[in-house]
Amino acid sequence: MHLTQKRFFLFIGMLFLSGIAFSQTIFWSVNFNNGCAANCLLNTYGGWTMQDNVGGVTGGSPNNWYVSCSEEGITPPGCGSSCIGDASLHIGADPGSGGDIGASYNETGAANATFRRALSPTISTVGRSTITLKFDFIAYGSAGCSDDRAQLHLSTDNGATWPVGFQYCLTSVCCGACNGYSQGQWTTYTLALPAAFDNNPNVRIGFHWRNNGNGSGTDPSVAIDDIQLSVVNPVPLTLISFNAAKATNQVKLNWVTTNENQVSRYEVERSTNNSGFVKIGMIPAKGNQQAGQNGYDYSDGPLFPVSVFYRLKMIDNDGKYKYSKIIHVGAGSQSDGEMVLLSTSATEGNLQLSVWSGYDASGSVALYDLQGKKIEDLATVQLRSGENQLKYPVKALSATYYMVKINVQKAGGRPPVNLTGRFLYGKK
Protein backbone atom coordinates (compact mmCIF):
# COMPACT_ATOMS: atom_id res chain seq x y z
CA MET A 1 0.00 0.00 0.00
CA HIS A 2 1.33 3.41 -0.93
CA LEU A 3 2.45 5.51 2.02
CA THR A 4 1.55 9.18 1.83
CA GLN A 5 3.21 11.55 4.22
CA LYS A 6 2.26 15.18 4.11
CA ARG A 7 3.72 18.28 5.71
CA PHE A 8 1.37 21.21 6.02
CA PHE A 9 1.30 24.54 7.68
CA LEU A 10 -1.04 27.50 8.07
CA PHE A 11 -1.15 31.24 7.97
CA ILE A 12 -3.88 33.00 9.95
CA GLY A 13 -4.24 36.66 10.88
CA MET A 14 -3.81 37.63 14.53
CA LEU A 15 -6.95 38.09 16.59
CA PHE A 16 -6.83 41.31 18.61
CA LEU A 17 -8.94 42.54 21.46
CA SER A 18 -11.07 45.29 19.99
CA GLY A 19 -8.95 48.43 20.23
CA ILE A 20 -7.69 47.70 23.76
CA ALA A 21 -4.16 49.01 24.20
CA PHE A 22 -3.37 47.61 27.65
CA SER A 23 -0.18 45.81 28.55
CA GLN A 24 -0.56 42.11 29.29
CA THR A 25 0.52 40.10 32.36
CA ILE A 26 1.25 36.43 31.57
CA PHE A 27 0.10 34.11 34.38
CA TRP A 28 0.45 30.69 32.68
CA SER A 29 2.69 29.55 29.83
CA VAL A 30 4.30 26.49 28.26
CA ASN A 31 7.06 26.34 25.62
CA PHE A 32 7.38 22.50 25.20
CA ASN A 33 11.19 22.70 25.37
CA ASN A 34 12.03 19.21 26.66
CA GLY A 35 15.42 18.70 24.98
CA CYS A 36 14.01 15.84 22.89
CA ALA A 37 15.05 15.55 19.24
CA ALA A 38 12.31 13.11 18.18
CA ASN A 39 9.79 10.43 19.26
CA CYS A 40 8.90 11.81 22.72
CA LEU A 41 5.20 11.17 23.19
CA LEU A 42 2.94 13.90 24.57
CA ASN A 43 2.24 12.18 27.91
CA THR A 44 5.93 12.43 28.87
CA TYR A 45 5.73 16.22 29.03
CA GLY A 46 4.73 18.32 32.03
CA GLY A 47 1.33 16.89 32.98
CA TRP A 48 -0.06 16.89 29.43
CA THR A 49 -2.24 13.90 28.56
CA MET A 50 -4.16 12.52 25.57
CA GLN A 51 -7.76 11.41 25.05
CA ASP A 52 -8.44 8.85 22.32
CA ASN A 53 -11.60 8.16 20.28
CA VAL A 54 -12.86 11.75 20.61
CA GLY A 55 -15.48 12.23 17.88
CA GLY A 56 -14.66 8.95 16.16
CA VAL A 57 -12.89 5.59 16.46
CA THR A 58 -9.12 5.53 16.17
CA GLY A 59 -7.63 2.89 13.85
CA GLY A 60 -4.86 0.35 14.45
CA SER A 61 -2.01 2.56 13.18
CA PRO A 62 -3.07 6.10 14.16
CA ASN A 63 -1.19 9.38 14.16
CA ASN A 64 0.42 10.46 17.43
CA TRP A 65 0.93 13.61 19.46
CA TYR A 66 4.66 14.25 20.05
CA VAL A 67 6.70 16.88 21.90
CA SER A 68 10.11 17.32 20.28
CA CYS A 69 12.13 19.62 18.06
CA SER A 70 11.61 17.30 15.11
CA GLU A 71 9.19 20.10 14.22
CA GLU A 72 11.09 23.23 15.24
CA GLY A 73 9.19 26.05 16.90
CA ILE A 74 9.80 29.09 14.69
CA THR A 75 9.12 32.73 15.57
CA PRO A 76 6.25 33.85 13.30
CA PRO A 77 6.12 34.38 10.38
CA GLY A 78 8.94 31.90 9.66
CA CYS A 79 8.41 28.66 7.78
CA GLY A 80 8.83 25.19 9.23
CA SER A 81 12.15 23.59 10.06
CA SER A 82 13.59 20.39 11.47
CA CYS A 83 15.39 20.30 14.82
CA ILE A 84 17.43 23.33 15.88
CA GLY A 85 16.55 23.27 19.57
CA ASP A 86 13.05 24.74 20.12
CA ALA A 87 10.61 21.85 20.59
CA SER A 88 6.92 21.97 19.70
CA LEU A 89 3.76 19.92 20.25
CA HIS A 90 2.81 18.29 16.93
CA ILE A 91 1.09 15.41 15.16
CA GLY A 92 3.33 12.76 13.58
CA ALA A 93 2.97 9.19 12.36
CA ASP A 94 2.55 6.01 14.37
CA PRO A 95 5.92 4.80 15.76
CA GLY A 96 5.64 1.64 13.64
CA SER A 97 4.94 3.63 10.45
CA GLY A 98 7.60 6.31 10.32
CA GLY A 99 7.19 7.84 13.77
CA ASP A 100 8.06 11.43 14.64
CA ILE A 101 9.46 13.18 11.58
CA GLY A 102 7.89 16.52 12.44
CA ALA A 103 4.40 17.75 11.60
CA SER A 104 3.78 15.00 9.05
CA TYR A 105 1.31 12.13 9.20
CA ASN A 106 0.40 8.86 7.47
CA GLU A 107 -2.82 8.54 5.49
CA THR A 108 -3.02 5.19 3.73
CA GLY A 109 -6.48 4.12 4.83
CA ALA A 110 -8.70 3.24 7.78
CA ALA A 111 -5.79 1.99 9.90
CA ASN A 112 -4.55 5.61 10.13
CA ALA A 113 -7.87 7.01 11.35
CA THR A 114 -7.13 9.26 14.33
CA PHE A 115 -9.43 11.08 16.77
CA ARG A 116 -7.08 12.28 19.50
CA ARG A 117 -7.11 15.30 21.76
CA ALA A 118 -4.01 16.68 23.50
CA LEU A 119 -4.94 18.03 26.96
CA SER A 120 -3.15 20.57 29.10
CA PRO A 121 -2.92 20.19 32.86
CA THR A 122 -5.66 21.91 34.87
CA ILE A 123 -5.22 25.69 34.88
CA SER A 124 -6.63 28.00 37.57
CA THR A 125 -7.75 31.51 36.58
CA VAL A 126 -9.09 32.37 40.06
CA GLY A 127 -8.81 36.11 40.64
CA ARG A 128 -8.35 36.83 36.94
CA SER A 129 -10.72 38.06 34.23
CA THR A 130 -10.60 39.37 30.65
CA ILE A 131 -8.20 36.57 29.75
CA THR A 132 -6.36 36.24 26.45
CA LEU A 133 -5.10 32.93 25.03
CA LYS A 134 -2.15 33.16 22.67
CA PHE A 135 -0.03 30.54 20.90
CA ASP A 136 2.04 30.00 17.76
CA PHE A 137 1.02 27.27 15.33
CA ILE A 138 1.13 25.75 11.89
CA ALA A 139 -1.81 23.83 10.39
CA TYR A 140 -4.26 24.24 7.53
CA GLY A 141 -7.47 22.24 7.73
CA SER A 142 -10.43 22.30 5.39
CA ALA A 143 -12.58 25.43 5.41
CA GLY A 144 -15.62 23.54 6.70
CA CYS A 145 -13.55 22.00 9.52
CA SER A 146 -14.04 18.54 8.04
CA ASP A 147 -11.77 15.76 6.73
CA ASP A 148 -8.24 15.78 8.26
CA ARG A 149 -7.93 18.84 10.49
CA ALA A 150 -6.92 20.39 13.81
CA GLN A 151 -9.11 22.28 16.28
CA LEU A 152 -8.53 24.28 19.43
CA HIS A 153 -10.81 22.95 22.21
CA LEU A 154 -11.49 24.67 25.56
CA SER A 155 -13.07 23.35 28.77
CA THR A 156 -14.37 25.15 31.87
CA ASP A 157 -14.96 22.01 34.00
CA ASN A 158 -11.56 20.28 34.10
CA GLY A 159 -12.15 18.45 30.83
CA ALA A 160 -15.48 16.83 31.75
CA THR A 161 -17.08 18.60 28.76
CA TRP A 162 -15.73 20.44 25.72
CA PRO A 163 -18.71 22.48 24.39
CA VAL A 164 -19.02 23.04 20.66
CA GLY A 165 -19.16 26.79 21.33
CA PHE A 166 -15.62 26.58 22.70
CA GLN A 167 -14.16 24.75 19.67
CA TYR A 168 -12.24 26.69 17.00
CA CYS A 169 -11.07 25.41 13.62
CA LEU A 170 -7.48 26.14 12.67
CA THR A 171 -7.51 27.05 9.00
CA SER A 172 -5.89 29.59 6.67
CA VAL A 173 -3.78 30.06 3.57
CA CYS A 174 -0.41 28.44 2.87
CA CYS A 175 2.99 29.73 1.72
CA GLY A 176 2.33 29.21 -1.97
CA ALA A 177 -0.32 26.86 -3.33
CA CYS A 178 -2.24 24.88 -0.71
CA ASN A 179 -1.63 21.60 -2.52
CA GLY A 180 -0.68 19.45 0.46
CA TYR A 181 3.05 19.83 -0.14
CA SER A 182 3.85 23.57 0.04
CA GLN A 183 5.38 25.06 3.16
CA GLY A 184 3.33 27.16 5.52
CA GLN A 185 4.06 29.91 8.00
CA TRP A 186 4.21 29.81 11.75
CA THR A 187 1.52 32.22 12.87
CA THR A 188 0.37 33.73 16.16
CA TYR A 189 -3.22 32.95 17.16
CA THR A 190 -4.80 35.18 19.82
CA LEU A 191 -8.26 34.67 21.30
CA ALA A 192 -10.13 36.67 23.95
CA LEU A 193 -11.61 33.93 26.13
CA PRO A 194 -15.34 34.02 26.93
CA ALA A 195 -16.40 35.15 30.40
CA ALA A 196 -16.95 31.52 31.48
CA PHE A 197 -13.17 31.22 31.79
CA ASP A 198 -12.88 34.13 34.24
CA ASN A 199 -12.18 33.29 37.91
CA ASN A 200 -12.35 29.56 37.14
CA PRO A 201 -10.20 26.91 38.91
CA ASN A 202 -10.85 24.20 36.29
CA VAL A 203 -9.77 25.48 32.86
CA ARG A 204 -8.13 23.12 30.37
CA ILE A 205 -6.80 23.71 26.85
CA GLY A 206 -7.03 20.98 24.21
CA PHE A 207 -5.89 20.46 20.64
CA HIS A 208 -7.92 17.90 18.68
CA TRP A 209 -6.57 16.10 15.62
CA ARG A 210 -8.86 14.20 13.28
CA ASN A 211 -7.62 12.01 10.43
CA ASN A 212 -10.71 10.44 8.88
CA GLY A 213 -8.82 7.46 7.44
CA ASN A 214 -10.12 7.83 3.90
CA GLY A 215 -6.71 7.23 2.29
CA SER A 216 -6.34 10.83 1.08
CA GLY A 217 -4.07 13.09 3.13
CA THR A 218 -5.13 16.33 1.53
CA ASP A 219 -5.05 18.49 4.66
CA PRO A 220 -1.97 19.29 6.73
CA SER A 221 -0.64 18.22 10.06
CA VAL A 222 -0.44 20.62 13.00
CA ALA A 223 2.18 22.00 15.41
CA ILE A 224 1.71 24.19 18.49
CA ASP A 225 4.27 26.21 20.47
CA ASP A 226 4.62 28.93 23.13
CA ILE A 227 1.13 28.91 24.68
CA GLN A 228 0.35 31.84 26.99
CA LEU A 229 -2.60 32.95 29.12
CA SER A 230 -2.55 36.61 30.10
CA VAL A 231 -4.72 39.35 31.55
CA VAL A 232 -4.85 43.04 30.80
CA ASN A 233 -3.59 45.51 33.37
CA PRO A 234 -6.96 47.12 34.12
CA VAL A 235 -8.03 50.69 34.60
CA PRO A 236 -7.79 51.22 38.39
CA LEU A 237 -11.43 51.29 39.48
CA THR A 238 -14.27 48.96 40.42
CA LEU A 239 -17.61 49.35 38.63
CA ILE A 240 -20.21 48.34 41.22
CA SER A 241 -23.32 48.82 39.05
CA PHE A 242 -24.44 50.13 35.66
CA ASN A 243 -28.16 50.48 34.93
CA ALA A 244 -30.61 52.06 32.47
CA ALA A 245 -34.34 52.77 32.69
CA LYS A 246 -36.90 54.52 30.50
CA ALA A 247 -38.19 57.88 31.71
CA THR A 248 -40.36 60.53 30.01
CA ASN A 249 -39.10 60.54 26.42
CA GLN A 250 -35.56 59.60 27.48
CA VAL A 251 -33.35 56.92 28.96
CA LYS A 252 -31.79 57.50 32.38
CA LEU A 253 -28.36 55.88 32.86
CA ASN A 254 -26.62 55.61 36.20
CA TRP A 255 -23.52 53.86 37.49
CA VAL A 256 -21.61 53.55 40.76
CA THR A 257 -17.84 53.07 41.15
CA THR A 258 -15.34 52.64 43.93
CA ASN A 259 -11.53 52.54 44.25
CA GLU A 260 -11.06 55.20 41.57
CA ASN A 261 -7.37 55.99 41.17
CA GLN A 262 -6.01 58.18 38.36
CA VAL A 263 -9.24 57.79 36.40
CA SER A 264 -9.84 60.48 33.77
CA ARG A 265 -13.41 60.12 32.47
CA TYR A 266 -16.32 57.93 31.42
CA GLU A 267 -17.58 57.91 27.83
CA VAL A 268 -21.14 56.70 27.22
CA GLU A 269 -21.57 54.64 24.03
CA ARG A 270 -24.81 53.55 22.32
CA SER A 271 -25.74 50.99 19.67
CA THR A 272 -28.87 49.90 17.84
CA ASN A 273 -29.26 46.87 15.58
CA ASN A 274 -25.87 46.17 13.86
CA SER A 275 -24.93 49.86 13.96
CA GLY A 276 -21.86 49.45 16.14
CA PHE A 277 -21.23 51.54 19.25
CA VAL A 278 -20.83 55.32 19.00
CA LYS A 279 -19.89 57.84 21.68
CA ILE A 280 -22.87 59.98 22.78
CA GLY A 281 -21.50 61.67 25.89
CA MET A 282 -18.67 62.13 28.41
CA ILE A 283 -18.62 62.49 32.21
CA PRO A 284 -15.42 63.47 34.10
CA ALA A 285 -14.34 61.14 36.90
CA LYS A 286 -15.15 62.46 40.38
CA GLY A 287 -13.13 60.75 43.02
CA ASN A 288 -9.71 59.37 42.16
CA GLN A 289 -9.63 57.98 45.67
CA GLN A 290 -8.71 54.60 47.13
CA ALA A 291 -11.94 54.14 49.09
CA GLY A 292 -15.53 55.36 48.92
CA GLN A 293 -18.18 55.26 46.21
CA ASN A 294 -18.98 57.68 43.41
CA GLY A 295 -22.33 57.88 41.62
CA TYR A 296 -22.89 59.11 38.04
CA ASP A 297 -25.96 59.92 35.93
CA TYR A 298 -26.50 60.51 32.21
CA SER A 299 -29.68 61.10 30.19
CA ASP A 300 -30.13 60.04 26.56
CA GLY A 301 -33.12 61.25 24.56
CA PRO A 302 -35.44 61.23 22.83
CA LEU A 303 -36.49 57.57 23.07
CA PHE A 304 -35.74 55.32 20.10
CA PRO A 305 -38.51 53.20 18.50
CA VAL A 306 -36.13 50.19 18.58
CA SER A 307 -34.06 48.44 21.22
CA VAL A 308 -31.03 50.41 22.38
CA PHE A 309 -27.81 49.14 23.96
CA TYR A 310 -25.35 51.07 26.12
CA ARG A 311 -21.85 50.55 27.48
CA LEU A 312 -19.27 52.64 29.36
CA LYS A 313 -15.74 53.27 28.18
CA MET A 314 -13.73 53.84 31.38
CA ILE A 315 -10.49 55.74 30.69
CA ASP A 316 -7.53 56.44 33.00
CA ASN A 317 -5.10 59.37 32.95
CA ASP A 318 -2.67 57.46 30.71
CA GLY A 319 -5.34 56.85 28.06
CA LYS A 320 -5.80 53.17 28.91
CA TYR A 321 -9.39 52.01 28.97
CA LYS A 322 -11.76 49.13 29.49
CA TYR A 323 -15.44 48.59 28.73
CA SER A 324 -18.34 47.85 31.05
CA LYS A 325 -20.87 45.14 30.36
CA ILE A 326 -23.52 46.00 27.76
CA ILE A 327 -26.97 46.92 29.11
CA HIS A 328 -30.24 46.79 27.18
CA VAL A 329 -33.30 49.02 26.92
CA GLY A 330 -36.00 47.15 25.00
CA ALA A 331 -38.46 48.57 22.50
CA GLY A 332 -41.55 46.81 23.84
CA SER A 333 -43.01 44.31 26.26
CA GLN A 334 -41.37 41.33 24.52
CA SER A 335 -37.84 42.73 24.81
CA ASP A 336 -36.65 39.82 26.97
CA GLY A 337 -37.06 37.56 23.95
CA GLU A 338 -35.10 39.76 21.57
CA MET A 339 -32.01 38.71 19.67
CA VAL A 340 -29.95 41.45 18.02
CA LEU A 341 -26.68 41.53 16.09
CA LEU A 342 -25.12 44.66 17.59
CA SER A 343 -21.95 44.99 15.56
CA THR A 344 -19.91 43.24 12.87
CA SER A 345 -16.31 44.06 12.03
CA ALA A 346 -13.42 42.35 10.30
CA THR A 347 -9.77 42.77 9.49
CA GLU A 348 -7.42 40.32 7.83
CA GLY A 349 -7.95 36.90 9.38
CA ASN A 350 -10.38 38.07 12.07
CA LEU A 351 -14.19 38.45 12.21
CA GLN A 352 -15.73 39.89 15.39
CA LEU A 353 -19.44 39.88 16.23
CA SER A 354 -21.40 41.23 19.17
CA VAL A 355 -24.78 39.54 19.69
CA TRP A 356 -27.37 40.33 22.33
CA SER A 357 -29.73 37.49 23.19
CA GLY A 358 -32.70 37.50 25.50
CA TYR A 359 -32.37 33.73 26.09
CA ASP A 360 -29.97 30.79 25.72
CA ALA A 361 -29.96 29.33 22.20
CA SER A 362 -27.77 27.51 19.68
CA GLY A 363 -27.15 28.43 16.07
CA SER A 364 -24.69 28.53 13.19
CA VAL A 365 -22.56 31.31 11.69
CA ALA A 366 -21.74 31.57 7.97
CA LEU A 367 -20.06 34.06 5.65
CA TYR A 368 -21.63 35.22 2.34
CA ASP A 369 -20.85 37.61 -0.49
CA LEU A 370 -23.33 40.40 -1.27
CA GLN A 371 -24.95 38.25 -3.99
CA GLY A 372 -25.94 35.72 -1.33
CA LYS A 373 -23.38 33.04 -2.24
CA LYS A 374 -22.03 31.20 0.79
CA ILE A 375 -18.26 31.56 1.17
CA GLU A 376 -17.62 29.69 4.38
CA ASP A 377 -19.38 27.96 7.29
CA LEU A 378 -17.61 29.45 10.29
CA ALA A 379 -18.91 27.58 13.33
CA THR A 380 -21.81 26.45 15.42
CA VAL A 381 -22.38 28.73 18.41
CA GLN A 382 -24.01 28.54 21.81
CA LEU A 383 -25.52 31.92 22.69
CA ARG A 384 -26.09 32.82 26.32
CA SER A 385 -28.66 35.22 27.67
CA GLY A 386 -27.17 38.71 27.52
CA GLU A 387 -24.06 39.86 25.69
CA ASN A 388 -22.11 37.45 23.45
CA GLN A 389 -18.74 38.47 21.99
CA LEU A 390 -17.88 36.10 19.11
CA LYS A 391 -14.53 35.94 17.32
CA TYR A 392 -13.71 33.75 14.31
CA PRO A 393 -10.67 33.27 12.10
CA VAL A 394 -11.58 33.66 8.42
CA LYS A 395 -9.64 32.78 5.31
CA ALA A 396 -8.12 35.41 3.04
CA LEU A 397 -10.72 37.60 1.33
CA SER A 398 -10.66 40.50 -1.09
CA ALA A 399 -11.05 43.96 0.43
CA THR A 400 -14.76 44.50 -0.19
CA TYR A 401 -18.16 44.13 1.50
CA TYR A 402 -19.50 40.81 2.82
CA MET A 403 -22.39 39.52 4.89
CA VAL A 404 -22.41 37.35 7.97
CA LYS A 405 -25.53 35.38 8.83
CA ILE A 406 -26.41 33.79 12.16
CA ASN A 407 -29.16 31.18 12.01
CA VAL A 408 -30.62 30.49 15.46
CA GLN A 409 -32.60 27.31 15.94
CA LYS A 410 -35.96 27.11 17.70
CA ALA A 411 -35.71 27.17 21.48
CA GLY A 412 -38.46 27.05 24.09
CA GLY A 413 -41.22 27.31 21.50
CA ARG A 414 -39.71 30.42 19.91
CA PRO A 415 -39.53 30.79 16.12
CA PRO A 416 -36.14 30.49 14.40
CA VAL A 417 -34.17 33.74 14.11
CA ASN A 418 -31.93 34.89 11.26
CA LEU A 419 -29.50 37.72 11.99
CA THR A 420 -27.61 39.42 9.16
CA GLY A 421 -24.77 41.93 9.27
CA ARG A 422 -22.95 43.69 6.44
CA PHE A 423 -19.29 44.64 6.86
CA LEU A 424 -16.23 45.81 4.96
CA TYR A 425 -13.33 43.37 5.09
CA GLY A 426 -10.11 45.35 5.46
CA LYS A 427 -6.43 44.58 5.35
CA LYS A 428 -4.24 45.26 8.35
Mean per-residue pLDDT for 344-372?
Answer: 82
Are 176 and 190 in a shared domain? yes
Mean per-residue pLDDT for 230-251?
Answer: 83
Query: What was the pLDDT predicted at 169?
Result: 85
Mean per-residue pLDDT for 329-354?
Answer: 73
Amino acid letter, 268: V
Are 185 and 275 in a shared domain? no
Query: What was the pLDDT predicted at 289?
Result: 66
Residue 175 has pLDDT above 60, yes or no: yes
Are 189 and 306 in a shared domain? no
Antiparallel, parallel or unpaired: β 223-232 and 88-92: antiparallel
Q: Give CA–CA dist 290/260, Å, rounded.
A: 6
Residue 323 has pLDDT above 60, yes or no: yes
191: region left, alpha or beta (phi > 0 left; psi from -120 to 50 alpha) = beta
- Does a cis peptide bond (omega within 30 degrees of 0) precede residue 163? no
Q: Give CA–CA dist 2/29, Å, rounded.
A: 40
Query: What was the pLDDT predicted at 255?
Result: 95
Paired with 270 in beta bridges are 278, 310
Query: What was the pLDDT predicted at 347?
Result: 67
CATH of the domain at 277: 2.60.40.10
Are 209 and 274 in a shared domain? no
Per-range mean pLDDT, top range of 40-49, 174-183, 288-297: 40-49
Are 37 and 164 in a shared domain? yes
Neighbours of 10 (CB within 10 A): 28
Select from 329, 360, 376 the last residue of a domain.
329
Are 242 and 156 in a shared domain? no
Residue 165 has pLDDT above 80, yes or no: yes
Residue 8 has pLDDT above 50, yes or no: no
Are 113 and 17 in a shared domain? yes
- The mean of the pLDDT values for the chain is 81
At 261, the pLDDT band (50, 70, 90 cuts) reads confident
Residue 349 has pLDDT above 90, yes or no: no
Measure CA of the first residue to CA of the last residue in the chain; give whole Å. Answer: 46
Count of domains observed in the chain: 3
Are 99 and 246 in a shared domain? no
Are 95 and 207 in a shared domain? yes
Q: Give CA–CA dist 43/129, Å, rounded.
A: 30
Query: What was the pLDDT predicted at 18?
Result: 30
Are 268 and 147 in a shared domain? no
Residue 408 has pLDDT above 90, yes or no: no
Q: What is the pTM of this model?
A: 0.54
Give SS3 for 426: strand
Domain of 383, in residue numbers: 337-424
Select from 232, 255, 275 the last residue of a domain.
232
Residue 141 has pLDDT above 80, yes or no: no
Please give the residue that has the higher pLDDT: either 209 or 381: 209
Are 307 and 351 in a shared domain? no
- The CB-side HSE value for 135 (13 A sphere, CA atoms) comes to 23
Please give the residue that has the higher pLDDT: either 398 or 211: 211
Give SS3 for 165: helix
At 132, the pLDDT band (50, 70, 90 cuts) reads very high
Are 181 and 278 in a shared domain? no
CATH of the domain at 386: 2.60.40.2550
Query: What was the pLDDT predicted at 173?
Result: 63
CATH of the domain at 89: 2.60.120.200
Query: What was the pLDDT predicted at 376?
Result: 83
Mean per-residue pLDDT for 408-427?
Answer: 77
